[in-house]
Amino acid sequence: MQSSNGRTRDSGDSSESAGDHGRGHGPASVEAAGHARYTDPWYDVLASGWGESGSLSPPVADVSAARRERQDGAVAAAQVYLEVQRSAAFQEVRSRYRRFVVPAVVGFFLWYVAYVVTATTAPGFMARPVVGAVNVALLAGLGQFLSTFLLTWAYSRHARLRRDRAALDLRWETQELTREARGGVA
């Protein structure tokens, strides 16, 4: 039987024994189909004692101390984000965002619903010619596209003029506070 890394598994009739796989604790070098060699770092994991019950385990004290330190830094960083979220500067950025987005979404949704409702309930009105073959429905449909592009432009302009600078300042401040909370580690 062939394993996923290209080596044949020991099924008892092979000349290669299970002990041969476990000799090295480092990554196994495996030859792929195109004669290119790659290293499989997990091939000898079970042979090295990891994952087996009753075997020697890795140094738990070192790992758990580092994990505890990382968790303490993460908790401190989370507190920084909560403080920033409660700050007046963050609330101002959010309110500027809402003051633009809520009316824009409501206005665009009403415009879209008016178009759909008019198209379904007043087909005679939508079929009324304006100029040549161009009718009210075609102009209203193109108006949907035009209003989408105008709304996108207005949103990006509003963000650039009224929110981006304050948001960037908050971002830098948050990164500095987070770095300090984690003990100067980036």
Q: What is the pLDDT of residue 48?
A: 54
Predicted structure pTM score:
0.54
pLDDT at 68: 65
Question: How many angstroms separate the Cα of 44 from the Cα of each of 5, 12, 22?
Answer: 12, 19, 6
pLDDT of 150 higher than 70: yes
- Distance CA(182)–CA(133), nearest Å, equals 67
Confidence of residue 145 (pLDDT cuts 50, 70, 90): very high
Range among 22-26, 83-87, 111-115 with highest mean pLDDT value: 111-115
CA distances from 183 to 69, 74, 85, 178 (A): 10, 11, 21, 9
Which is more confidently placed, 140 or 17?
140
Per the prediction, the chain carries an average pLDDT of 76
Using the predicted structure, report yes or no on whether residue 44 has a pLDDT greater than 70: no
Q: Evaluate the CA torsion angle 103, 101, 177, 168 in order and state its sign.
A: negative
Q: Per residue in 157-173, pLDDT tens?
A: 999 999 888 888 888 88
| pLDDT single digits (tens) 67-95 | 666 667 677 777 888 888 898 988 999 99
Give the pLDDT mean for 17-32.
48
Residue 6 DSSP code = S
Point out the least confidently predicted range of 101-105, 110-114, 129-133: 129-133
